[in-house]
Amino acid sequence: MLDDIAKNFLDDIIKGIMKNETNEKKHTKLDDVEISIIIPVYNEEKNLERFSKEVFPILDNLNRKYEVIAVDDGSKDDSWKVMKNLAKKHSFFTALRHSRNYGMGAAYQTAVDYSSGKYIITYSADIEVPPKYIKDVLKKLDDGYDVVNTWRKGRWQEEGGLKSTLRRYPSKVANYLIKKISGVDIKDTGSGLKGFRRFVMENLKIYGDMHRFLPAYASLYTKKIVEIPVEYKERMYGKSAYGSIKRTFTVFLDLFSMKFMLSFSTKPFSMMPGRIFGTVGLIAFGLGTLITFYLAFVKIFMHENIGDRPLFMVGLIFIVLGIQLIMTGLLGELLLRIYFESSNRKPYIVTESENANLTDSEV
């Protein structure tokens, strides 16, 4: 009986090891894949059915090793069923499914994590940009650019009327603000077709709605960014999951976060908490001290009562507030250093080197 127990125990261990090896193989990067096409999917059943005839033949004609990774972000229609069928028919097609709707940014990040190509191309499931332009994006990447954005010329202009105005102008305002804040000369940040070198996307972790600002955030890691014009076609089936007015409003809110992250990530130690809170704290403390000295002069030399003056309380509040802000800055300094040291994250990226002695973590 003990022999049977020991045998079953060893069998369980062996099965567990084999299962772990299988899982590791699933996540192993394929070195021979050159291009990864990543597609976020949400209720795109009918549009996905067009890929076999409209998209895959274009990719085959590239004569380059590629993979397609589609992520179903909690669709309510039969998108997942169509994706499974595509995965069965095409060995290059990988279908992934979220447990619920996490958002487009999470879908992008999931696909990037499972991708293996040195070039990562984002593409819309609604085929709003004709797939023939994927070749143009790849050409720009081959030319040495690290990020290639596409500008959907003529978008919504053919509709006319109030509907077109409500869709077009909020988008123009949002793109203008993104351009001014980020400093990246991009006309259309919302286009679904974009191209990236792998090092950009590996460093660019996508959280929340960051997918709306990918070219701007990518500027943290490279200045080799270019934009090319492409055709725009209205979706044939379904409707976009994002309304223009609502999206533009949330973009305005996200711009504040983007500005902070761009400034902090570009020069993290020029926006150190000690400088920010310390500067404001010193100003508040200085004002409080001046007010207090003034009231002390009035009390000592002019023999006036200062206990019932509101200015006395204002001076004390400024002094206390200044001390608190300075202490907050010092705590922020500690947290900043803990963040960099615990995450092993460096405030820089080296893209090329010659005769440099690099450790394994820096390669």
Q: What is the pLDDT of residue 329?
A: 82
Strands in 58-211 per DSSP E: 66-72, 93-97, 119-122, 147-152, 194-197
Q: State how far the Cα of 120 lies from the Cα of 197, in Å rounded to an integer.
A: 6
Tally of CB atoms within 10 A around 49: 16
3-class SS at 149?
A: strand
Angle at 54 between CA 49 and CA 59, to 5 degrees: 115
Query: 185 falls in which pLDDT band (50, 70, 90)?
Result: confident
Q: What is the pTM of this model?
A: 0.68
Q: State how far the Cα of 293 lies from the Cα of 337, in Å rounded to an integer.
A: 38
Q: What is the pLDDT of residue 239?
A: 74
Q: What are phi and psi of 152, to 5 degrees?
A: -80, 90
Query: 15 falls in which pLDDT band (50, 70, 90)?
Result: low
- Looking at the predicted structure, is the pLDDT value of residue 145 above 60? yes
- Looking at the predicted structure, is the pLDDT value of residue 333 above 90? no
Where is average pLDDT lowest: 50-54, 195-199, 359-363?
359-363
Rounded to a whole number, what is the distance in angstroms from the first to the last CA of the chain?
Answer: 53
Q: Is 160 left (phi over 0), alpha (psi -120 to 50) or beta?
A: left
